[in-house]
Amino acid sequence: MAKIKKKYVCQECGYGSPKWMGKCPSCNNWNTLVEELETNISSKHTGISLGSNQQPESITAIQSKDETRIKTDMPEFNRVLGGGVVPGSLVLIGGDPGIGKSTLLLQVSDQLAHKQVRVLYISGEESTRQTKLRANRLGVTSDQLYVLSETNLQLISSQIDQLEPSFIVIDSIQTIFKEEVTSAPGSVAQVRECTGELMRIAKTKHVPIFIVGHVTKEGAIAGPRLLEHMVDAVLYFEGERHHTFRILRGVKNRFGSTNEMGIFEMKEEGLREVSNASEIFLEERSQGVAGSAVVASMEGTRPVLVEIQSLISPTSFGQARRMATGIDHNRVPLLMAVLEKRVGLLMQNQDAYVKVAGGVKLDEPAIDLAIAVSIASSFKDQPCKPNDVLIGEVGLTGEIRRVSRIDQRVQEAAKLGFKRAIIPAKNMDGWTIPDSIEIIGVNSVQEALKATFDQ
């Protein structure tokens, strides 16, 4: 007979313990260990096989074949995936509740269904009538889009065998359960087993499957980290609930580049893609105001111009505050220390607030110079020139270091009407400078501030 054991598993990281503990020793979260029943059957293999007794082959003898990607009518969505949907891929989409994950996938499903691609939309959170109400609002009318309200994975698998769809959506993975697993839906064991079964279906039937994943309060995908390792691509749908713009960001992609970004605008009739992101982020920029600087940042293969805003004010407390939105908060005191030590701006008793306008998050080193200049601009109460764009990484000794893809950044700035670009001096050679923009190469923060304020 099968032996049943009790096991306590952390719902955040998957750590297992024979007894309950208030704090998980692996991820240090409280009250995340949940009791699960584990059945040990030595004669039954529970693994998932993707092949049928294949023999090892030399990598030089394997015939390569270019996969024909399935194109949607959203170029922004295709760009994040690396050029389209790859058949047989398993893609995970995560995001905050109400951000628009289901809306995006329902619109994509309708676009593919209009191209005579048979689509199966499986909802574990809504009934078919509720899905129909949302479809009416979005204008979904294709008869090749099939909707199923089911959470039992065995029944879902049988429906896939009968319908034989070419595109599948699972909304969401936390509601799907497998009968052989005794844990509740959404637990670590259920998420792991159900994702493994869906991966087998995707690889053996050569059909792409998109699964929606819930996120924790920190913004990460809920469940074990193994979930992100199992899938082929991980997409995050980001945005402020009080703003209309949404950002689809790729953080893992086995079939394309990572850190690609697609921008959408939430309308009453659904999501509409934004073709020129730089104009959206700069359309409300105030000119002639101290503390504002523009940077050309790379998001994957795409240059985006974004405004960096800073506010420096005398502190009212014993210790000055350093706050940042849209960038790593540790970068602000680091750059302020460089300005104080290398330039001589005394800001020990100044509060600093730095924000990336538009709700976008930036993490590349090339935005350092724009942050430093915006801080200095607010501290001096002297505005930057409105037609300047700043690009460069700032070192601890005050030097401006080389950045990648400088030609694409400058071309994007010239296209939007900027007249000057202050860039690292080491990036001056090896590319063609557009005629409509002046390039100023600087070696240090002092030279950058002089070029910004003194001319």
Report the pLDDT value the prediction gives residue 332, as an integer from 0 to 100: 94
Is the pLDDT at 4 greater than 70, yes or no? no
**DSSP H helical segments within 139-187, as ranges?**
153-163
Is the pLDDT at 428 greater than 80, yes or no? yes
| Cα-based distances in Å from 327 to 242, 299, 352 | 20, 14, 13
Report the pLDDT value the prediction gives residue 42, as an integer from 0 to 100: 39
Q: For residues 72 and 81, what is the distance between their CA atoms, to the nearest angstrom?
A: 11
**DSSP H helical segments within 285-441, as ranges?**
331-338, 368-380, 406-415
- The reply to whether 160 sits in an annotated binding site is no
Residues 127-140, mean pLDDT to the nearest whole number: 93
Residues 327-336, mean pLDDT to the nearest whole number: 94
Report the pLDDT value the prediction gives residue 65, as an integer from 0 to 100: 72
Residues 355-382, mean pLDDT to the nearest whole number: 92
Is the pLDDT at 269 greater than 70, yes or no? yes
Residues 98-114, mean pLDDT to the nearest whole number: 93
Report the pLDDT value the prediction gives residue 185, as an integer from 0 to 100: 87
- The reply to whether 168 sits in an annotated binding site is no
- The reply to whether 383 sits in an annotated binding site is no
Is the pLDDT at 442 greater than 80, yes or no? yes
Residues 14-40, mean pLDDT to the nearest whole number: 82
Report the pLDDT value the prediction gives residue 455, as an integer from 0 to 100: 54
pTM: 0.77
- The share of the chain scoring above pLDDT 70, in percent, equals 93
Among 46-55, 59-68, 139-148, 346-355, which is the least confidently predicted range?
A: 46-55
Report the pLDDT value the prediction gives residue 27, as an integer from 0 to 100: 83
Rg (C-alpha) for the chain, rounded Å, is 26
φ/ψ of 23, rounded to 5, equals -120, 130
Is the pLDDT at 5 greater than 90, yes or no? no
- The reply to whether 6 sits in an annotated binding site is no
- The reply to whether 100 sits in an annotated binding site is yes
- The reply to whether 99 sits in an annotated binding site is yes
- Hunting for tokens 């949607």 — which residue is that? 72
Residue type (1 letter), 347 = M
Report the pLDDT value the prediction gives residue 404, as an integer from 0 to 100: 92
Report the pLDDT value the prediction gives residue 384, as an integer from 0 to 100: 92
Among 214-218, 341-345, 354-358, 397-401, which is the least confidently predicted range?
A: 214-218
Report the pLDDT value the prediction gives residue 3, as an integer from 0 to 100: 61
- pLDDT grade for 39, boundaries at 50, 70 and 90: low
Q: Dig out the tokens for 123 from the structure.
A: 């909802």
Is the pLDDT at 90 greater than 50, yes or no? yes
Report the pLDDT value the prediction gives residue 161, as an integer from 0 to 100: 94
Closest CA to 114 of 106, 104, 122: 106
Segment holding 4, helix H or strand E = strand 3-10
- The reply to whether 97 sits in an annotated binding site is yes
Contact of 27 with 13, CB cutoff 8 Å: yes
Q: How would you label 195-234 residue by residue, b for 16+ Cβ within 10 Å and e otherwise?
A: bbbbbebbbebebbbbbbbbbeeeeebbbbeebbeebbbb
Residues 203-218, mean pLDDT to the nearest whole number: 88
Report the pLDDT value the prediction gives residue 93, as an integer from 0 to 100: 94
- The reply to whether 333 sits in an annotated binding site is no
- pLDDT grade for 89, boundaries at 50, 70 and 90: very high
Q: For residues 450 and 447, what is the distance between their CA atoms, to the nearest angstrom?
A: 5
